[in-house]
Amino acid sequence: MVRKKSLLVVLVLILLGGTLAGALNYTASNDESVTRILGYDVYKIEGSGNYIIYYPLPNGSVKILKKGKPGFLPTFVKVPRREWVKALSNDEKALYAPPTPLILYVTKNGKLGIKSMTTSKIKLDEENALDLKGNTSPKGNIGVQTTTSCPRGWMDFGGRYCLNPQWDLQFESTAKTKTFNEWISVMGLKVENNVAEKMNFDWILVLSRSTYSYWTVGIDVGPFTLLSVSRGAHFDGWGLDVDYQSFNDLPVNSASWERYLNIKVEYIVAHARVSAYDKLMGEYVDIDMAQVYPVKIHTTGKYTIWESATGGTYFTESQGENAPRITTTPNMWGISKEAEWRRKWLNAGSWEGAVYVRQSQSSAFSSSSSLSIPIGYAGGRYLAGINPALGRLANALSLTIGFHKYTNAFSFVEYSIQVKPRKDCYAMYSVLGVKVGSSGSKVNVPLVFSVITDGKSPSPPCDPRTGMCATSEGGIGG
């Protein structure tokens, strides 16, 4: 009888244990938000290989939260969000989006990737990752299969690159982060070589709780740079509503005419590296990784700004903190060297719609619901001062935001330019192609900076007459 009771207790425990594990897995399979239990984030990580979950802190350090492999049971992680809550909490009327944790992973078939952890269900994507086999890149074939051996003990995926078996320890020892707070140009226009007689423009920027901050991730492995974005948190706090426009038709009386709309932005720059061995070249290389994330918008309030031929630039409405600035030189590290420039032919003598971009709310990240903003000069200089690979990433990265649906909130961007050309010319603006989502689909995110030119000046990165562009490696691409 005692034996039967013991067996019954064991069976009950097994059933309860199975039910508990099943319930936890069901809870952790939430693919819309993060499930939290007793102060812990609960994740169900799917895929193969190894991972590191980490979190950049305001003091410049990177905290490793968890290391492991995907398994049957969910993973519990304590995320020190209060560090950022304390750092961002003050009496300032600002928009803020504390960072989300990140996961770096290496799959069994040689894919290295980084993504944000904003849902409990985490899939170690292979499409948004660096292929260590060296088979593909955004610009074509970056490598070939080789029979050369890896160094003893190194991870061999059967392709071009071998990985340091202690990549996780190396990442942990090299991972650093730094926060920058500076004025950054979010929109701009440059007219060159006296090509425009008159113009009018209207630039609108509205940010609110329906604006989401995105991690922009760059991975550099020499021949190319892989860019992807991953959703972070939505902004909270106060809103921003800016409308900057010309009063009637604005004459262009100088050979070079520039205007830039600037707001004060605080953003995170995180970086690290792991070692690899390039079997094709027979040498050791570093795989450098950098991530940027807008964490706080200091410019908030409602502003109406006009520019006229007689009155210059003036505010007719200005209510808020850190009012936007209009400048004739840009405040940025530079337009991403990975950006593609779109062009339109403008005929002399008649009014033309040169550029029109409108980005508005959508349930998903898309080319019509996102905006790319150049990183500031301080952040770019910081990365470029560490090593050449991070310098290349600084030249490629941009801050990314998305406009999504959120209760009782609305956000959008509208950028419109009309020109009466003095002579035939081109209107150009850029888009940055990034990978997003588990499918690895490419989204062209606009940077609303335009150039009106005849192409007889060296300043545009692309020659509008030929469509040929200077690449990030200093060569020429189509």
Confidence (pLDDT) at 195: 94
Q: By CB neighbour count within 10 A (0-12 exposed, 13-18 middle, 19+ buried), where does 156 fall?
A: middle
Return the higher-pLDDT residue of 458 and 377: 377
CA distances from 99 to 71, 96, 157, 177 (A): 26, 9, 33, 12
Is the pLDDT at 3 greater than 80? The verdict is: no
pLDDT in tens, 379-424: 999 999 999 999 999 999 999 999 999 988 999 999 999 999 999 9
Q: How large a percentage of the chain has pLDDT more than 70?
A: 85
Confidence (pLDDT) at 397: 96
Is the pLDDT at 97 greater than 90? The verdict is: yes
Nearest to 472 by CA among 137, 231, 45: 137
Number of Cβ atoms within 10 Å of the Cβ of 430: 25
Find out whether 249 and 428 touch, Cβ atoms under 8 Å.
no
Domain boundaries, the chain: 27-477
Residues in the chain: 478
Residue spans of beta strands (DSSP E) within 391-460? 398-403, 412-421, 425-436, 441-453
Question: Longest Cα pair distance anywhere in the chain, in angstroms?
Answer: 102
Instruction: Report d(CA 334, CA 348) in Å as an integer.
Output: 30
pLDDT in tens, 167-208: 999 999 999 999 999 999 999 999 999 999 999 999 999 999
Token couple for 388: 């050449």
Mean pLDDT of all residues in 433-437 = 88
Residue with tokens 């984030």: 41
Angle between helices 377-384 and 388-396 (to 10 degrees): 150
Mean pLDDT of all residues in 75-102 = 93
Is the pLDDT at 158 greater than 90? The verdict is: no
Confidence (pLDDT) at 360: 96
Q: How confident is the model at residue 209 (pLDDT cuts 50, 70, 90)?
A: very high
Instruction: Report d(CA 413, CA 206) in Å as an integer.
Output: 6
Mean pLDDT of all residues in 83-94 = 90
Q: How far separated are the first and last CA of the chain, in Å rounded?
A: 83
Instruction: Report d(CA 285, CA 68) in Å as an integer.
Output: 25
CA distances from 242 to 399, 415, 417, 422 (A): 19, 12, 16, 30
CA distances from 200 to 252, 308, 350, 352 (A): 10, 10, 13, 10
Confidence (pLDDT) at 225: 82
Mean pLDDT of all residues in 12-20 = 49
Token couple for 399: 């801050």
Instruction: Report d(CA 306, CA 315) in Å as an integer.
Output: 6
Is the pLDDT at 146 greater than 50? The verdict is: yes
- Which pTM value belongs to this model? 0.89
Question: What one-character DSSP code corresponds to residue 13?
Answer: H
Is the pLDDT at 108 greater than 70? The verdict is: yes
Number of Cβ atoms within 10 Å of the Cβ of 366: 16
pLDDT in tens, 258-267: 999 999 999 9
Mean pLDDT of all residues in 282-307 = 96
Mean pLDDT of all residues in 314-343 = 94
